[in-house]
Structure 1
Amino acid sequence: MAAAASSTTLKPSASAATISGFRRLPLSTTFGVTTLSFRHRRDQPRRFVVLSMDAKPTILVAEKLGEAGVNLLKEFANVDCSYNLSPEELCTKISLCDALIVRSGTKVNREVFESSGGRLKVVGRAGVGIDNVDLAAATEHGCLVVNAPTANTVAAAEHGIALLTAMARNIAQADASVKAG
């Protein structure tokens, strides 16, 4: 087992070694992850995971996100912020990316997953629903789809309280009266 000087070898726990999906997990060499087999028992190989931090993943941010969030991503990944991409442009760019972050405007369909050539491993939806992501195609291509279901709960609650206050104080009528003179 020859590992680079900047690599760390992690040994899975006994329970992790027995998980059947552990050996079948598709790992991207872009993230610098390689699996090596060693004998655990005579009849079964034992898996070790070697993580190398030399290679940074590439994340495509296809829609506008907050600057603080993008800066967090830039600390550990190469971030490509390309907004308002056509479906053809998205399919072209996705072949160079390991992860994709979208909001509700970008449709991530089967063509996007096929264009990635198996490199795309994660689609992150910055919002509640995942109706703009083809989950069947993501599953077929071994791509994880995640979302942020509670990301806007505080803003939604604040907006609801503001609407109730506006209704109780007749803000709409007062606004119309001021505009009418």
Structure 2
Amino acid sequence: MSAAASSTISVATTNPLKSLSLSSRSPLPSASSISFPSRNPRRLVLVSCTTGDGSKPTILVAEKLGDAGVKLLEDFANVDCSYNMTPEELNTKISLCDALIVRSGTKVGREVFESSRGRLKVVGRAGVGIDNVDLRAATEFGCLVVNAPTANTIAAAEHGIALLAAMARNVAQADASVKAGM
């Protein structure tokens, strides 16, 4: 893969005002596309992805994801699901990967980007924040960091309604009285 090769990453939504295209003179992913379905029918995200030599990229999934998400990734990439890795194991494996998907339990620090030796091109955070990713190091190494800010909004709303219903029905008091033998 030539470091001087020109490539483009495109992220498009069904709203033409919210499309984004990034061009680079580095070996960033390009070519085929992948779409992520959304609960909102007006929202569809398309991301282009292959390596510079035409082969499938390798994605390291460092924390448990849903089976449907992993199957979707397997259609477009070589997926390595390695959970509960130590920081040393992550630093060793990352040199063989083009992308990394984490949740909140894996810290992606400067050591990870240094260990990747420039191969890591995108870190995906399956969740709201990106506080577990060193953004300064990612920028220095030319790595794109993305997250899913609305991924759990429905689950959070359902949880809130369940807590309100539990409070209205005195579930905590009933549980305590049963445990006390009353």
Q: Which residue of 1 aligns with 2:63?
A: 63
1:147 aligns with 2:150: no
Q: CA deviation at 1:54?
A: 4.2
| Residue-pair matches, total | 142
Q: Which residue of 1 aligns with 2:178?
A: 178
| Partner secondary structure for residue 95 of structure 1 | helix
Matched letter for residue 124 of structure 1:
G
Alignment of 1:20-31 (within 5 A): 22=23, 24-28=24-28, 31=29
Equivalents in 2 of 1:52, 1:109: separation in Å? 26
Larger Rg: 1
Deviations 1:146-166 (A, max 9, x none): 001111100110111111111
When structure 1 is superposed on structure 2, of 170-179 and 129-138 the one drifting more is 170-179
Q: Structure 2-normalised TM-score? A: 0.73
CA contact (8 A) 1:97 1:116 kept: yes
Alignment of 1:162-173 (within 5 A): 162-173=162-173
Unaligned runs of 5+ in 1: 1-9, 11-20, 34-50
Runs of 4+ in 1 over 6 A off after TM superposition: none
Q: CA deviation at 1:103?
A: 0.5
Deviations 1:121-144 (A, max 9, x none): 000001111000000000000000
Alignment of 1:110-149 (within 5 A): 110-149=110-149
Matched letter for residue 145 of structure 2:
V
Q: Structure 1-normalised TM-score? A: 0.73
Q: Which residue of 1 aligns with 2:5?
A: none
Unaligned runs of 5+ in 2: 1-7, 9-21, 32-50
